Amino acid sequence: MCFLGQIQIVKFFLQLYFTKFILKFLDKKLLTEKIYS
């Protein structure tokens, strides 16, 4: 049970990290598009 719990926590943190990364990437993309348009 403990092992499965750890996997769930790791999955959660990975999802959190990826969503942050994607949001930052999208923000940069939108900013560059606004500047160039």
2-29 residue pLDDT tens: 788 899 999 999 999 999 999 999 999 8
What is the residue type of 14? L
What residue numbers bound the domain in which 33 lies? 1-37
- The pLDDT value given to residue 37: 67
Q: Determine the straight-line distance between the first and last CA of the chain, rounded to whole angstroms.
A: 53
Instruction: Give the number of domains in the chain.
Output: 1
Helix (H) or strand (E) segment spanning residue 7: helix 2-36
pLDDT tops 90 at residue 32: no
Q: When comparing pLDDT for 1 and 13, which is higher?
A: 13
What is the residue type of 20? K
Rounded Cα–Cα distance for residues 35 and 37 (Å): 6
